[in-house]
Each structure stands twice: as structure tokens, then as C-alpha cells.
Amino acid sequence: MTGTIKAGLVGLGKIARDQHLPAIRKTDGIELVAVASRNAQGEGLHNYGALKDMLAGELDLDAVILCQPPQVRYEAARQALLAGKHVFLEKPPGATVSEVEALIDIAERQGVTLYASWHSRYAAAVGAAKSWLATRALKHVSIQWREDVRHWHPGQPWIWEAGGFGVFDPGINALSILTEIVSEPIALLSASLEVPANKQAPIGAELKMVAASGAPIEAVFDWRQTGPQTWDIAIETDGGSLLLSEGGNMLRLDGEVQVKAPDEEYPAMYRRFVRLIEDKAIDVDIAPLRLVADAFLCGEHRATAAFED
Ligand code: NAP
């Protein structure tokens, strides 16, 4: 397309304000003109209470950015695609694998862009980690993703409800990096999910996976870590060891720091979204979501003490 892409954003909450608004302002080729949110208003923008009203009121809108919780993502994405809009999905792209596959089909038939964003894949050191791994054989992968849910997700009841993913909300970020940097298919073998007695979604999880080459992959996700937070992926190969830490923003090879840079994930994702629209392309990788779905499918559930957030 020619000219600046006019976008409308749905769900003006934490991630929209922290990341999307500043990233869109920094990106050439796209401009935010409207917001649809039930309880919030965007400054200097056309505001609506619902997506359907935004679609009816903004006839020249090109794209819709969906920043609500995953449980309501599908219906909104479907509406926007059927209205002929390009769609940017926050992660996770949906609450189920089947709804994301249905969205791909709708986007293909409509001839519009559908972008499933995985922000952690754009962390500063992920590209370098991927290149380094490409010429080495995997021996072992260990993921530790431990954070304090009370710090990162205050006042977010949806995250504890069915379809809210619980600790897999951050954990899927680790899986998005894993499936980006490891070029082999990854199979989930077993999982153990700790679910607080008063919640629907897990507070802790352990996953056992295996790469097609046979290399074991283990992951621990925990939401009860206070103090320093841990977002690490450690990989042993036939040609040395790699440690990605700080959520993918720091890379050590054989103990030596190679990359350490601040996170610029969202501006990179918006540059990608603009290019996808120019190319009339779809970019939806469901690999991280499929591993989470498999963990819920075969995971052993262990009840734990009630958790007050
Ligand atoms: P949030 O602030 O709790 O929710 C975003 C907005 O969605 C809310 O302000 C609300 O706006 C709307 N919303 C909430 N519950 C809804 C419901 N049941 N039905 C319809 N709309 C609802 O959440 P967030 O932290 O921004 O996360 C949103 C998405 O971004 C999630 O998928 C999350 O995984 C992803 N994400 C979050 C972060 C982060 O650091 N927080 C980082 C990366 C990605 P209105 O009430 O005004 O409609």
C-alpha cells in the first residue's frame, strides 16, 4: 500500500501504554488514529467504547492492533479481518490453537496481513544466539523463567482465569525464543502444572521437551520469585555453551558477554508490521502456542495453596 497506515488500537491497558503507543510514534509509515477501549481514552485520538463502533466510525482505517487479554482476541480479530483490516495480534495470538488457525484462513481469504507478534523474539541478543547455534549441534537446553507475578501483573484477573495462561503468559515468551533460535522441531513430552486452589491457571510449571535430534530441553516457569528475576536460556552444544539472559537481551558464549543491549522489541515489531502490510504477507508462527497447548493437554495438574495476588 502507499501512504501512511492508519491504525486503531483495541484494549488501552498496560502493554498498550507501556510499549505500543511509544513504539508506533517512533515508526515511519504507521500512525495511530483511534482507540477502542471500554474504560480508557487515548489522548488526541478518536475514542470508541468497542471495536465495532471504531470500525463503523473510522472508514479509512487500514489496520487494527489487538492488545486485550487472549480470551477475547479471536472475536475481535475475526471482526477486524472481515472488515478488511490488517491485524496485529499481541502475544499470545489467541487462547487456543484452533482459533489462530481459523484467523490465518480468514486473513488469507480476505487478502490482508495478519501478524502474530512474539516480542521476545526481537530482544537484542536473540538474532546473535540464533546465528551462533546454526552451526552447532544441540546437546542440552535448560530454561529458567522465574518472576514475581505480584510485581508484573497486578490487578489482572484475566491472567488467572481459563484461557489466561497463568505462568505460561511469561513462559510463552521463553518458548517463542526457543522455537526461534533452535531450527529443529521441538516435541513436548510431559509437563507438570501447579495450580493454586483458588485459581484456574498455573502459578508454576515444569516442561520436558526434546529436539528432533534427541537433545533434551527442560523448562521451569515460576511466578513466585521475589528479589532478582530470572529469564534465562542455557544451551550446551558440541561447540561450546550459550547463555541468553535478561529475557533475550544479554548473550554469553562460553561465559564471555557478547551482547548486552536495552530492549527495543516493540519498535522492531512495528517496522515488521509495516513491511508485512507493504508485502501483503501473513506472519503467524503458532509453534510457541502449540507447546503451551500441549503442556495443558498432557500436563499433570498439582493443586497448590491458594494464592492472593
Ligand atoms: P491489561 O492491561 O490487563 O489489559 C489490556 C486492556 O484490555 C485493558 O485495559 C482493558 O481495557 C482490556 N480488557 C481487559 N480485560 C478484558 C476483557 N475481559 N474483555 C475485553 N477487554 C478487556 O493487560 P496487558 O498487560 O496490557 O496485556 C494484554 C496482552 O498483552 C496480553 O495478551 C499479554 O500477554 C500481552 N503482553 C503484556 C505485557 C505486559 O508487560 N503487561 C507484555 C507483553 C505482552 P478496557 O477495559 O478499557 O476495554
Residue 249: is its pLDDT beyond 90? yes
What is the distance in A from the centroid of ligand 1 to the CA of 16? 8
What is the distance in A from the centroid of ligand 1 to the CA of 96? 17
Check if 69 has its Cβ closer than 6 Å to any atom of ligand 1: yes
Rounded Cα gap, residues 247 and 125, in angstroms = 9
Distance of CA 152 to the CA centre of its chain: 15
Which of 9, 14, 161 has most ligand 1 atoms within 8 Å of its beta carbon, as the pocket-test mutant? 14
Catalytic, 14? Answer no
Check if 156 has its Cβ closer than 6 Å to any atom of ligand 1: yes
Check if 67 has its Cβ closer than 6 Å to any atom of ligand 1: yes
Query: Closest residue (by CA) to atom 9 of ligand 1?
Result: 13
Lookup result for grid cell 495450580? 195
Lookup result for grid cell 482505517? 61
Rounded Cα gap, residues 112 and 109, in angstroms = 8
Give the number of other Cβ atoms within 10 Å of residue 246's Cβ: 18
- pLDDT at position 263 is 86
What is the distance in A from the centroid of ligand 1 to the CA of 40? 12
Q: Is the peptide bond before 92 cis (omega within 30 degrees of 0)?
A: yes
Residue 90: is its pLDDT beyond 70? yes
Rounded Cα gap, residues 92 and 293, in angstroms = 11
Lookup result for grid cell 546473535? 128
Query: Closest residue (by CA) to atom 32 of ligand 1?
Result: 69
Residue 158: is its pLDDT beyond 90? yes
- pLDDT at position 309 is 87
Rounded Cα gap, residues 3 and 278, in angstroms = 10
Determine the average pLDDT of the residues in 260-273: 95
Pairing relation of β-strands 300-304 and 186-196? parallel
Tell me the three cell numbers of residue 249: 537481551
Lookup result for grid cell 501483573? 153
What is the distance in A from the centroid of ligand 1 to the CA of 32? 18
Check if 15 has its Cβ closer than 6 Å to any atom of ligand 1: yes
Residue among 31, 2, 33, 8 at smallest CA distance from 86? 8
Helix/strand/coil percentages in the chain, nearest 5? 35, 30, 35
pTM of the entire structure?
0.98
Residue among 76, 50, 57, 75 at smallest CA distance from 65? 76
Q: Residues 115, 276: contact at Cβ < 8 Å? A: yes
What is the distance in A from the centroid of ligand 1 to the CA of 15? 7
Which of 68, 72, 172 has most ligand 1 atoms within 8 Å of its beta carbon, as the pocket-test mutant? 68
Residue among 78, 71, 119, 80 at smallest CA distance from 101? 78
Q: pLDDT category, 250, cuts 50, 70, 90?
A: very high
Determine the average pLDDT of the residues in 271-298: 98
Q: Provide, rounded to the nearest whole percent, the portion of the chain with pLDDT above 90.
A: 98
Check if 91 has its Cβ closer than 6 Å to any atom of ligand 1: yes
Q: Of the residues 6, 26, 52, 91, which is catalytic?
A: 91
- Contact partners, residue 297, CB within 8 Å, separation at least 6: none
Residue 49: is its pLDDT beyond 90? yes
Q: pLDDT category, 1, cuts 50, 70, 90?
A: low
Which of 37, 54, 67 has most ligand 1 atoms within 8 Å of its beta carbon, as the pocket-test mutant? 67
Determine the average pLDDT of the residues in 61-75: 98
Query: Closest residue (by CA) to atom 21 of ligand 1?
Result: 68
- pLDDT at position 202 is 98
Determine the average pLDDT of the residues in 273-286: 97
Determine the average pLDDT of the residues in 295-308: 96
Determine the average pLDDT of the residues in 130-143: 98
Q: Over the stretch 164-202, which tens digit does the pLDDT of each residue have?
A: 999 999 999 999 999 999 999 999 999 999 999 999 999
Q: Provide, rounded to the nearest whole percent, the portion of the chain with pLDDT above 70.
A: 99
Check if 263 has its Cβ closer than 6 Å to any atom of ligand 1: no
Mean of per-residue pLDDT scores for the chain:
97
Q: Residues 247, 263: contact at Cβ < 8 Å? A: yes
What is the distance in A from the centroid of ligand 1 to the CA of 136? 39
Residue 2: is its pLDDT beyond 90? no
